[in-house]
Amino acid sequence: MNTIETIMKRRSIRSFTDQPISDEDIRTILKAGMAGPTCVNARDWAFIVITDKELLEKTADANGRPAQCLKQAAMGILVCGDMERAFSRAKDYSVVDTSIACENMILAAHELGIGSVWLGTWPQMDRVERQKELFQLPETIVPHSLIAFGYPSDPSELESGKPDRPEFEEDRVHYNHW
């Protein structure tokens, strides 16, 4: 599928089959995450790949009610910012860099026939703290986003696009002045 088609068709998938994701596909998804631009090429992210069933449940609970669908997913990836690597003069660029990595991963997954849903963590600091505690993370590693991945129960969702969303909102765009 070409890139623009994937971008336009991607939607959140919250119901998954039991099919596991192959190691090769996991690696492709991670490579896509690492291929995004980062501020001053800091590559200031870290990825925790979760496939253990019990741990998926704990990770879902640490992220709050909207993350419950992770319990049925084949895989979760907790994407974190690495403050030791982040641009020293403006470390919050790490939030941008990890967001880019996440978007690349969900687009790559879609291409592989794998659905996903992005479960927000940062800036909800109660979630950030619970994930830090669950994974016993070093002080410099900040949980940013949790993504659930799996083969969709209804594969047509990968083709149907986003329901009830305008493709283009004219009033969001300004030309050469506000």
What is the DSSP track for 100-126?
HHHHHHHHHHHHTT-EEEEEEBTB-HH
Tokens for 72? 């049925």
Tokens for 53? 């069933």
The distance of closest approach from Cβ of residue 17 to its own copies in the complex, given in angstroms and rounded to an integer, is 21
Query: Which residue among 13, 110, 114, 158 contacts its own copies (CB under 8 A)?
Result: 110
- Binding residues for its own copies restricted to 73-92, rule: CB under 8 A: 89-90, 92
Report which residue type is found at 58. K
Closer residue to its own copies in complex, CB, 36/152: 36
Does position 8 interact with its own copies (CB under 8 A)? The reply is yes
- Binding residues for its own copies restricted to 14-73, rule: CB under 8 A: 27-28, 30-32, 34-37, 39, 41, 43, 45-52, 55
- Binding residues for its own copies restricted to 134-173, rule: CB under 8 A: 135-138, 141, 145, 162, 165-169, 172-173
Give residues with Cβ within 8 angstroms of 12, minimum separation 6. Answer: 116, 117, 118
What residue ranges in 57-114 does DSSP mark as E strands?
Answer: 75-82
The distance of closest approach from Cβ of residue 159 to its own copies in the complex, given in angstroms and rounded to an integer, is 14
The distance of closest approach from Cβ of residue 147 to its own copies in the complex, given in angstroms and rounded to an integer, is 10
Closer residue to its own copies in complex, CB, 16/25: 25
Tokens for 150? 């799996």
For residue 30, give Cα distances in angstroms to 24, 61, 124, 157: 10, 24, 24, 23
Distance between CA 18 and CA 102 in Å, rounded? 23
Q: What is the contact mask toward its own copies in residues 122 to 141, using x (rule: CB under 8 A)?
A: xxx----------xxxx--x
